[in-house]
Amino acid sequence: MDSGRPSEAVELEGCLESLRSGAPGAVERLCAALRPVVEATVRRRLTPRGRRWAEVDDVVQGILLETVRQLDGLPASADAGELLRRVRRTANLRVKDALRNHQDLVGESAVDLAQTPAERSRSTGPITAEDRRRWLEELVARLPEKYAAVVRLCAFEQLTCVEVAARLKLEPDTVRKRYEVARQALARRLGSSESV
């Protein structure tokens, strides 16, 4: 893999030689040489939506710290190209981690409040699990309480019909029937709201 500009490769080779010789300030010099490469990679990979939760400078700093920790594992024969490959691989992984760590925030609930109301009314991405739960809770709240209680315990708390029956002091068959009636009522409501 091409290491980028020739001057960059020469500078990194000099940094590697300084590190191997134990020169003072070699780590800082290496980080200063790597920072533009890492920053360019992070800016290219971190989407605008991802920048809502992950600051480019924070991700870059984390990558540089991880690179410094991994310097002892760098083979003695490694050149600037090998170092850059490792740094770029680490950068790609850390950007994916930053996006994955906030994946549950992506969606309708992540609307940018600086947008105009017309812009906010449009979909901004996939619906999150939190969006689905909030929407389902609103629908369940419209059911009669004897059905809503069963749905909350079965669907939200993930209890079995036997556990729900014990908690509500009902027969398990009664819980199953109420859950089925509630499920059908919700399906009808959803069907009628989709046709509107």
Amino acid 171: pLDDT: 94
Per-position DSSP letters for the chain, written without gaps between them: ---SSHHHHHHHHHHHHHHHHT-TTHHHHHHHHHHHHHHHHHHHHS-TTGGGTS-HHHHHHHHHHHHHHTGGGS-TT--HHHHHHHHHHHHHHHHHHHHHHTGGG-SGGG--TTS-HHHHHS--SPPPHHHHHHHHHHHHHTS-HHHHHHHIIIIIS---HHHHHHHHT--HHHHHHHHHHHHHHHHHHHHHHHH-
CA 192 to CA 10: how far, in whole Å? 68
Per residue in 97-113, pLDDT (tens digit) is 877 776 555 554 444 44
Amino acid 165: pLDDT: 94
Q: Which residues of the chain have pLDDT under 70?
A: 1-7, 49, 102-129, 192-196
What count of other Cβ atoms lies within 10 Å of the Cβ of residue 171? 12
Amino acid 192: pLDDT: 65
56, 39 Cβ separation under 8 angstroms: yes
CA 3 to CA 82: how far, in whole Å? 8
Amino acid 113: pLDDT: 46
Q: Is the dihedral of CA 29, 32, 37, 42 positive or negative?
A: positive
CB-based burial label for 126 (10 Å; 0-12, 13-18, 19+)? exposed
Amino acid 121: pLDDT: 47
CATH 1.10.1740.10 domain extents, the chain? 6-105
14, 61 Cβ separation under 8 angstroms: no
CATH classification code of 127-195: 1.10.10.10
What count of other Cβ atoms lies within 10 Å of the Cβ of residue 3? 18
Amino acid 102: pLDDT: 61
Radius of gyration of the CA atoms of the chain, in A: 27
Amino acid 6: pLDDT: 62
CATH 1.10.10.10 domain extents, the chain? 127-195
CA 59 to CA 46: how far, in whole Å? 10
Domain 6-105 has CATH 1.10.1740.10: yes
